[in-house]
Structure 1
Amino acid sequence: MVRYSLVGTKSVAWDSSFTEGRYGNEETSLQLGALMSRWKEADAPGRNGAGLDAGQDAGTRFVTAIPGKRITLVSMGRGPGDPRAMYKEARFLASLGYQVTYICNAASGPMVTDDHVHVDTLNMPTSRLARQMHGPSIVLREALRSRPDVVHVFDPALIGPALRLGRRYGVKVVLDLAEDNAKQILQKSYLGAMAVRKLGSHIYRRMSQSWLPQADLVIAATPSIAESLPAGCQHVIVRNFPAITEIDSVPPLASAASKSSTPVLRVVYVGGISPIRGIRELILATGMLQGAVELHLAGPVYDDRFLGELESMTAWQYCHYHGWLDWQGSIALVKTCDVGACVLQAAPNHVESLPVKVFEYMACGRGSIISSFPLWRRLFVGAALFVDPTNPTSIAQLMEQLLAKPALLRRLSERGRLLAEQSYSWESEAQRLASGYAGLWTVTRR
């Protein structure tokens, strides 16, 4: 459902929004606090583990499953159909017997419904600054209404407010770090000059040193993020691998009409449309082959001026832009094409990333052309061709190679699917998430 949140004309600090009850037509935070106290008292017998099965693992005793505990996943930026938050984590936690609510941004994709996850979409401020200022109080106020035992947040701006909420109302707090946020800040050009971004990165890194150990659980999406955590963090690594069974259930698009009357190599990129993702280089490479290759693009555009620049390029005639597709739509598009592309530029947060789109290409049985980062060369050996992401000519040469050697493309595709099934699937990562959540109900820790 869509709730129209009150983003009034006044800028309200986080603490005052929860202690002074300034949201006129809504229940005040004092009323919500009283409700939380009553809910916690009513839940007390269950919280003490009465009638529940306890288990022992490596010297740590904890309740292995507590059906009925309420988990609320919260994001200011992610949408209803977010692959990690909704399709993987929320659904899996619901399958364990938890009562799961997912609160997200109504503007970040089409609405989805689910029999086991309550999806609560909010109208958030559209400007980045307003969202950072007002967003935490909006989404966490809504989260409090769901009577959570656990609040599971994704956005860096929610870390401090969520920890304060946890202390005030006795709610456990899970922080989900999909990116190394200190490095990610360096890539955000809208923050201004690099000097400003470096300052912001430094401030975040210093604050996170004190914040992150206060969380009941930190979920790191990559080993490198886990290595960057300060001492004392209770954490688990849950990599963002594709859900094979979900991908296999999506049929390919009925058609993706070709602009050419002769057979072409269909290259697909799914993700954000921005310069740092190598989109310009992909289009230039496609144009060099003069119709022998078509480039299919899908994803959000972060700067309309950049899209206008792309559309003015001569090579754009060989491109299809499919807009911002939901997750099923993007998977269907990948299955309709021949090879995936992911030529991210060598930004600090890219070279150590685990690129979700490449794992999804592999799960769809598609080979890839990807950036020649050392980590990626190790992860995707035999399933991808590697290239200098700044060199459109080199990208075009690899496309031409795949056109001339169908057997090579077939080998890359088969190897990618095999790796996805054996090593890079959500089905194995989900058990890490289950173990992390089981630890929240620890009675005694070593």
Structure 2
Amino acid sequence: MDEILIMSSVHCWNDVRMFHREANSLAENGYKVKVIAVETDTAYTGKHCRLNVETIQKIPLGKRYKVWYRFYHIARISPAKIIIFHDPELYIIAYFLKKFTNKKIIFDMHEEFPASLLYKKIGKYKLPRWVVCFLKKIEQRILPVFDGLFFAEAYYKDIYGDVCVQGIDVLNYPVLCKETNNLKVDSDVVKLIYAGALHEVRGFFEMLELARLLKEGNHPFSLKIIGPGSNRLIEQGQEYINKHGLRGHVSICSYMDFDLLELEYQKADIGLALLHETPNYVKSLASKLYEYMSYGIVSVASDFPLWKELLMNTDAGITVNPMNINEVYYDVVKLINEVPYRKQLAKNGLKAHVNAYNWGVEEAKILRFIQQLET
């Protein structure tokens, strides 16, 4: 079998989709895999003999051209015949690799790149719309050089249907959990959790307001907010926690290794996904909803049509208007107080995970696609 090189200048080496799902699946199915991505506080322990990891330092965007040049050089001389990129900023490397080598190159699309830029900032400023439109045109010119595209969301096919490249859905379903409830204990303190990027539009301050209301209502709870965010945002969050006396209830962790995150998931009762209504979020199904199901966690999620349909069909959680914090509060209190109801929703989510929403089917898609590239 061919060697496969997986590269990212943005994602941590142990990124859930890139490493724990994609790279592990390929290694377990006989491929020799090398991952080159951003370092973390956790080192790879070499658990799999066919999977190697090389890390790079996290570098600000303005200096990452040095990483791009290094990645190009590594990819060009690598024995790997298949390369999988995970960042739009690596498009330019793919262009030159296709121009000067015979390597097969796949792009794993985590997000709708141009649309996501509309809500991101450089410093305090949003990108002008004309810059986003310009980058979209560049993307449309470069994507045809790839030999394949992996879409993390089904609707990406509608956006990129005109690009003359074969693309397949590789949805962000979690790996099938062997045991999910072993750390859950009956307790008066209900454990809430959020794991994902921290941002205003991802409901960061709504979660803190919810915690304030729960404390004022004397409800027994804890809330763990886990994920990367700007220093400014995290400082604002800590100020809010101190101002409202939430230190004994709420903790913010900007990074947590996946193994430790799994332990937190196994202990949690309610998972929050109070994202704001932006085009990107409304059109996509948040991977955390599937993750919550896989650990027997009840979802409290924004009432976007796709999210509402998923949670209604699986009966694994409830949807709320994230802009109406009182509505969120009353629905969460219902889950706290009505224990049998909450436990039934958790069981429903686990059943949906085992029967439909797990990584097994997506793994098979990746393997078939790569086998086609090898022929």
Provide the TM-score with structure 1 as the length reference: 0.77
SS of residue matched to 2:246: helix
Residue 146 of structure 1, CA deviation? 2.9
The residue that corresponds to 2:223 in the other structure is 295
Residue 250 of structure 1, CA deviation? 9.8
Residue 439 of structure 1, CA deviation? 2.0
Cα distance in structure 2, aligned partners of 1:144 and 1:354? 36
The residue that corresponds to 2:195 in the other structure is 270
Q: How does 1:263-342 map to 2 (within 5 A)?
A: 263-290=188-215, 291-292=218-219, 293-300=221-228, 302-313=229-240, 314=244, 316-317=246-247, 318-342=249-273
Residue 156 of structure 1, CA deviation? 0.3
Q: How does 1:237-276 map to 2 (within 5 A)?
A: 237-245=169-177, 248=179, 252=183, 263-276=188-201
The count of corresponding residues between Structure 1 and Structure 2 is: 362
The residue that corresponds to 1:348 in the other structure is 279
Does the Cα contact within 8 Å between 1:363 and 1:417 map onto a contact in 2? yes
The residue that corresponds to 2:358 in the other structure is 425
The residue that corresponds to 1:369 in the other structure is 300
The residue that corresponds to 2:17 in the other structure is 84
Sequence identity percentage: 22
Cα distance in structure 2, aligned partners of 1:142 and 1:121? 13
Residue 422 of structure 1, CA deviation? 1.3
The residue that corresponds to 2:154 in the other structure is 223
Does the Cα contact within 8 Å between 2:76 and 2:101 map onto a contact in 1? no
Cα distance in structure 1, aligned partners of 2:142 and 2:230? 33
Q: 2:53 aligns with which of 102, 109, 119?
A: 119
Residue 135 of structure 1, CA deviation? 2.5
CA-to-partner distance for each residue in 1:350-398, whole Å, 9 max, x for gaps?
Answer: 1122212221110001111011111111122211110111222121111
Does the Cα contact within 8 Å between 2:81 and 2:104 map onto a contact in 1? yes
SS of residue matched to 2:369: helix
Does the Cα contact within 8 Å between 1:362 and 1:420 map onto a contact in 2? yes
Distance verdict in 2 for CA 1:281–1:189, change over 3 Å: same
Q: How does 1:25-424 map to 2 (within 5 A)?
A: 67=1, 69-107=2-40, 110-112=42-44, 113-115=46-48, 116-125=50-59, 127-131=60-64, 133-190=65-122, 193-194=125-126, 196-229=127-160, 230-245=162-177, 248=179, 252=183, 263-290=188-215, 291-292=218-219, 293-300=221-228, 302-313=229-240, 314=244, 316-317=246-247, 318-381=249-312, 382-424=315-357
Distance verdict in 2 for CA 1:90–1:306, change over 3 Å: same
Does the Cα contact within 8 Å between 2:94 and 2:145 map onto a contact in 1? no
Does the Cα contact within 8 Å between 1:80 and 1:111 map onto a contact in 2? no
Does the Cα contact within 8 Å between 1:163 and 1:173 map onto a contact in 2? no
Distance verdict in 2 for CA 1:197–1:420, change over 3 Å: farther
Does the Cα contact within 8 Å between 1:352 and 1:375 map onto a contact in 2? yes
Cα distance in structure 2, aligned partners of 1:251 and 1:121? 33
1:120 counterpart letter in structure 2: E
Cα-Cα RMSD: 2.1
Q: Of the two, which has the highest radius of gyration?
A: 1
Gaps of 5+ in 2: none
Distance verdict in 2 for CA 1:286–1:249, change over 3 Å: closer
Does the Cα contact within 8 Å between 2:180 and 2:266 map onto a contact in 1? no
Cα distance in structure 1, aligned partners of 2:307 and 2:231? 30
Provide the TM-score with structure 2 as the length reference: 0.91
CA-to-partner distance for each residue in 1:269-319, whole Å, 9 max, x for gaps?
Answer: 11122212101111111111224132111122x221211211122153320
